Amino acid sequence: MTQHQIILFSLFGLVFALLLWGRYRYDLVAFSALMAGVVLGVVPTKDAFSGFGHPATLVVALVLVVSAGLVRSGAVMLITRTLVDSSRKLGTHIAIMGAVGGVLSAFMNNVAALALLMPVDIATARKAGRAAGVTLMPLSFATILGGMVTLIGTPPNIIIASIRGEALGTPFAMFDFAPVGGIVAIAGLAFVALIGWRLIPQKDGAGLEGDPLRDYAEYLSELAVPEGSPLTGQRVRDLDDLAEAADVALLGLIREGKRLPGRARNATIRPGDHLVIEAAPDTLDEFRVAQKLDLAEATVDAAGADMVIVEAVATPESRITGKTAQTIGLAWRQRAILLGLSRRGKPIRSRIRKTEVQAGDILLLLVPKEAAADVIDWLGCLALADRGLSVTADRKVWLAIGLFGAAVLAASLGLVYLPVALGIVVVAFVLTGILPLRNIYDHIEWPVVVLLGSMIPLGAALETSGGTELIAGTLTGLTAGWPAWAVLTVLMVVTMSLSDVLNNTATTIVAAPVGIQMAQTLGVSPDPFLMAVAVAASCAFLTPIGHKNNTLILGPGGYRFGDYWQMGLPLELIVIAVSIPTILLFWPL
């Protein structure tokens, strides 16, 4: 190995190790590696930031914005409201939701598709009286599978197309992935709907920390005692009958910013005290009004008729994750109040506004009615209740669908370059009021943009230095004399294993050039190898960290880390078994 290869392999090894560790966010890890590569001389200075203008990076960002426009216009809810029915049998519901999720994921980012359908699925579970954990994992897997069908459905496809364009002169077109991706998705969805959901551990909810909807129904909240309150002078224990009648639980008392020991049963209530209670959203507000209490956050007029209560789940990338409502300025920036917090049944000892929010926490928020969607978007959370997003621009639902459909058609026919077509859709969405200009950049997942922009120059440097040729030569040597299907299987297994524990974007950037080099070494077409990488990088079903969709359902579904592989492992085996002959049929060597 040359010195440059040693440095690059060391950088990639360090990146993978840090991503597995999870101590630092993936965008910081990737950008730090890029800077190190430039300083060490393995990445040319002139190419250091070339990844940020790369077509793959631009398409990923634009797809997220377009997806947000389709959601806000009501275009997607138009489908889900028509097809979802809580009275259906469980298997039928999973099949329909999976099919809807798969189709949506083909034409919008699969994370965005899950973000839209997850609250619909949870609401359906609530109405049907079952644990949401039974259906959320099948829905997540279905949206991952559906993303493989088109160029814009998932980042690995976008990256693969760009790499093919650079290596062979022509990128994959919009529906080049459809024959392989579609057949694999149908096979995967059939397994998920018929058998897969039955493999989820203790699907009755007993092994999923109870019904997560029941756990999240109760929030830890604070209510302030104002001057003149009828509760002034009473002991906390004297409120037991009132609390029982209102179906709330009194858990303690906060005075002068400090929580009194225990439940403060004998403490006398004074003006300015905060009662710590546990209650459902509806009973919380009823108790507040009945006892003439105030919300703990006094900077927002909660009595205004334009305020509504919404529930949302924090994601790893949410603005509030790792911070408190106070430090991000939720009240003064957005005129919103964090009413309560639920963390999978775990006790929260600190004050609500001063509690650091974790990914998977459920937030109970009081927000201005006209800005409910904007507040959730600003936080970067997912709504768990139907907030009526279609009301924002529901008169333009068909306009949004028409603009997007025209762009897809034009790109598919080669009339307009895909990034340009998506860019035109974004401009049209803003000019027609489908998307507000002030929030347009909030829909771009900037950590992913930084990850892509950082990893692309590193991947190019690895290829230029001969590193990918070295990896491909090693795999080719190990599979010497093997039939083509066996070589493709090895490539898929290696890629899929990496994708289960690493970001699928980073996996694709490394594996795609290796696939091309393997094909060139064998003297065959690189297309089947690229398709194998595209499918394998997308299919991360064994862990909650392999794909963002799996991470998003971890909290609301009440899953444990080890719950995923029991349905995910047979699904990955099915994907490989179906993919290999399908790839060789549609993309012959």
Summarised one tens digit per residue, pLDDT across range 467-521 is 777 877 788 788 887 888 888 999 999 888 888 766 677 788 888 888 888 888 8
277 SS3 class: strand
Rounded mean pLDDT, 298-321 = 66
pLDDT in tens, 336-388: 878 777 776 555 555 666 788 888 788 888 787 677 878 888 898 877 644 33
Rounded mean pLDDT, 36-61 = 86
Choose the most confident range, by mean pLDDT, from 110-124, 131-145, 261-275: 131-145
Rounded mean pLDDT, 221-232 = 83
Using a 10 angstrom Cβ sphere, with 0-12 exposed, 13-18 middle and 19 or more buried, the burial of residue 401 is: middle
Dist. CA 577–CA 489, nearest whole Å:
9
| Cα–Cα distances in angstroms (integers) from residue 276 to residues 221, 247, 303, 308, 564, in the given order | 6, 14, 20, 21, 36
| Cα–Cα distances in angstroms (integers) from residue 172 to residues 162, 414, 489, in the given order | 8, 11, 22
Dist. CA 177–CA 269, nearest whole Å:
66
In contact, 59 and 158? CB cutoff 8 Å: yes
User: Looking at the domain that runs over 226-292, which CATH code has it been given?
Assistant: 3.30.70.1450
* pLDDT of 5 strictly over 80: yes
* pLDDT of 203 strictly over 60: no
**H helices within 291-432, ranges in order?**
330-334, 372-379, 397-412, 418-431
Please tell me which residue, 267 or 215, carries the higher pLDDT value: 267
Dist. CA 305–CA 287, nearest whole Å:
18
* pLDDT of 217 strictly over 50: no
Contacts of 276 (CB under 8 A, 6+ apart): 220, 221, 222, 250, 251, 252, 253, 254, 259
- Per-residue model confidence (pLDDT) at position 392: 38
Determine how many CB atoms are found less than 10 A away from the CB of residue 464.
15
* pLDDT of 415 strictly over 90: no
Dist. CA 233–CA 241, nearest whole Å:
16
- Per-residue model confidence (pLDDT) at position 570: 95
230's enclosing H/E stretch is: none
User: pLDDT averaged over the chain?
Assistant: 80
164's enclosing H/E stretch is: helix 155-168
- Per-residue model confidence (pLDDT) at position 389: 33
pLDDT band for 279, please (50, 70, 90 cuts). Answer: confident
217 SS3 class: coil
pLDDT band for 304, please (50, 70, 90 cuts). Answer: very low
pLDDT band for 424, please (50, 70, 90 cuts). Answer: very high
In contact, 342 and 322? CB cutoff 8 Å: no
- Per-residue model confidence (pLDDT) at position 528: 94
Dist. CA 139–CA 483, nearest whole Å:
36
Please tell me which residue, 13 or 76, carries the higher pLDDT value: 13
End-to-end alpha-carbon separation of the chain, Å?
A: 30
313 SS3 class: strand
* pLDDT of 8 strictly over 60: yes
Dist. CA 480–CA 326, nearest whole Å:
61
- Per-residue model confidence (pLDDT) at position 451: 77
pLDDT band for 305, please (50, 70, 90 cuts). Answer: very low
- Enter the pTM of the model: 0.60
Pick from 444, 354, 355, 334: which is nearest to 57 by CA?
444
Rounded mean pLDDT, 318-327 = 88
pLDDT band for 181, please (50, 70, 90 cuts). Answer: very high
At residue 337, φ and ψ (nearest 5 deg) are -125, 135
Dist. CA 223–CA 296, nearest whole Å:
5
310 SS3 class: strand
